[in-house]
Amino acid sequence: MDTNDKRKMLAQAILSIESEEECFELLEDICTIKEVDDMANRFQIALLLYEGKTFIDVENQTGASSATISRVNRCLKHGKGYRQIIERMFDQNEGED
Protein backbone atom coordinates (compact mmCIF):
# COMPACT_ATOMS: atom_id res chain seq x y z
CA MET A 1 0.00 0.00 0.00
CA ASP A 2 1.51 3.34 -1.00
CA THR A 3 1.44 6.57 1.00
CA ASN A 4 -1.52 7.96 -0.92
CA ASP A 5 -3.59 4.84 -0.20
CA LYS A 6 -2.68 5.06 3.48
CA ARG A 7 -3.74 8.72 3.58
CA LYS A 8 -7.04 7.87 1.90
CA MET A 9 -7.65 5.13 4.46
CA LEU A 10 -6.95 7.59 7.29
CA ALA A 11 -9.30 10.14 5.73
CA GLN A 12 -12.04 7.50 5.51
CA ALA A 13 -11.48 6.58 9.15
CA ILE A 14 -11.78 10.24 10.17
CA LEU A 15 -14.92 10.68 8.07
CA SER A 16 -16.51 7.70 9.84
CA ILE A 17 -16.24 9.35 13.28
CA GLU A 18 -19.70 9.78 14.77
CA SER A 19 -19.04 11.78 17.94
CA GLU A 20 -16.60 14.08 19.68
CA GLU A 21 -15.80 11.24 22.08
CA GLU A 22 -14.92 8.89 19.19
CA CYS A 23 -12.74 11.63 17.72
CA PHE A 24 -10.78 12.03 20.95
CA GLU A 25 -10.43 8.25 21.29
CA LEU A 26 -9.01 7.92 17.78
CA LEU A 27 -6.67 10.89 18.21
CA GLU A 28 -5.39 9.45 21.49
CA ASP A 29 -4.73 6.10 19.80
CA ILE A 30 -2.91 7.39 16.71
CA CYS A 31 -1.13 10.45 18.14
CA THR A 32 0.88 11.24 21.21
CA ILE A 33 -0.64 13.71 23.67
CA LYS A 34 1.91 16.28 22.51
CA GLU A 35 0.91 15.77 18.86
CA VAL A 36 -2.77 16.26 19.71
CA ASP A 37 -1.91 19.35 21.76
CA ASP A 38 0.21 20.72 18.90
CA MET A 39 -2.65 20.22 16.44
CA ALA A 40 -5.08 21.88 18.85
CA ASN A 41 -2.69 24.82 19.26
CA ARG A 42 -2.32 25.21 15.49
CA PHE A 43 -6.08 25.19 15.09
CA GLN A 44 -6.43 27.84 17.81
CA ILE A 45 -3.83 29.93 15.97
CA ALA A 46 -5.82 29.55 12.74
CA LEU A 47 -9.02 30.65 14.49
CA LEU A 48 -7.35 33.72 15.96
CA LEU A 49 -5.81 34.70 12.62
CA TYR A 50 -9.14 34.11 10.86
CA GLU A 51 -10.74 36.48 13.39
CA GLY A 52 -8.20 39.14 12.39
CA LYS A 53 -5.85 38.98 15.37
CA THR A 54 -2.29 40.20 14.80
CA PHE A 55 0.73 37.92 15.01
CA ILE A 56 1.68 39.62 18.30
CA ASP A 57 -1.81 39.00 19.73
CA VAL A 58 -1.67 35.36 18.64
CA GLU A 59 1.81 34.91 20.07
CA ASN A 60 0.73 36.45 23.39
CA GLN A 61 -2.45 34.35 23.61
CA THR A 62 -0.95 31.03 22.54
CA GLY A 63 2.75 31.20 23.31
CA ALA A 64 3.41 29.88 19.80
CA SER A 65 6.59 30.78 17.96
CA SER A 66 6.50 33.25 15.10
CA ALA A 67 7.53 30.39 12.77
CA THR A 68 4.48 28.33 13.75
CA ILE A 69 2.17 31.33 13.44
CA SER A 70 3.63 32.15 10.01
CA ARG A 71 3.16 28.58 8.81
CA VAL A 72 -0.45 28.46 9.99
CA ASN A 73 -1.07 31.88 8.42
CA ARG A 74 0.35 30.69 5.10
CA CYS A 75 -1.88 27.60 5.21
CA LEU A 76 -4.89 29.74 6.13
CA LYS A 77 -4.26 32.11 3.21
CA HIS A 78 -3.12 29.66 0.53
CA GLY A 79 -4.49 26.32 1.66
CA LYS A 80 -8.07 25.13 1.91
CA GLY A 81 -8.31 22.98 5.02
CA TYR A 82 -8.32 25.49 7.87
CA ARG A 83 -10.57 27.96 6.06
CA GLN A 84 -13.13 25.35 4.98
CA ILE A 85 -13.48 23.90 8.45
CA ILE A 86 -13.46 27.24 10.28
CA GLU A 87 -16.11 28.69 7.96
CA ARG A 88 -18.22 25.55 8.35
CA MET A 89 -17.91 25.83 12.14
CA PHE A 90 -18.95 29.49 12.05
CA ASP A 91 -21.91 28.67 9.76
CA GLN A 92 -23.06 25.92 12.14
CA ASN A 93 -22.73 28.21 15.16
CA GLU A 94 -24.81 30.91 13.43
CA GLY A 95 -27.53 28.34 12.79
CA GLU A 96 -27.70 27.57 16.51
CA ASP A 97 -28.50 31.16 17.49
Domain boundaries in the chain? Answer: 1-30, 32-97
pLDDT for res 91? 86
pLDDT band (50, 70, 90) for residue 94: confident
The mean-pLDDT minimum among 2-11, 56-65, 84-93 falls in 84-93
pLDDT greater at residue 11 or residue 1:
11
Question: pLDDT tens for residues 19-28?
Answer: 999 999 999 9
In the DSSP assignment, the letter for residue 57 is: H
What is the C-alpha separation between 50 and 57, in angstroms, rounded?
A: 13
Mean pLDDT over 78-96 rounds to: 87
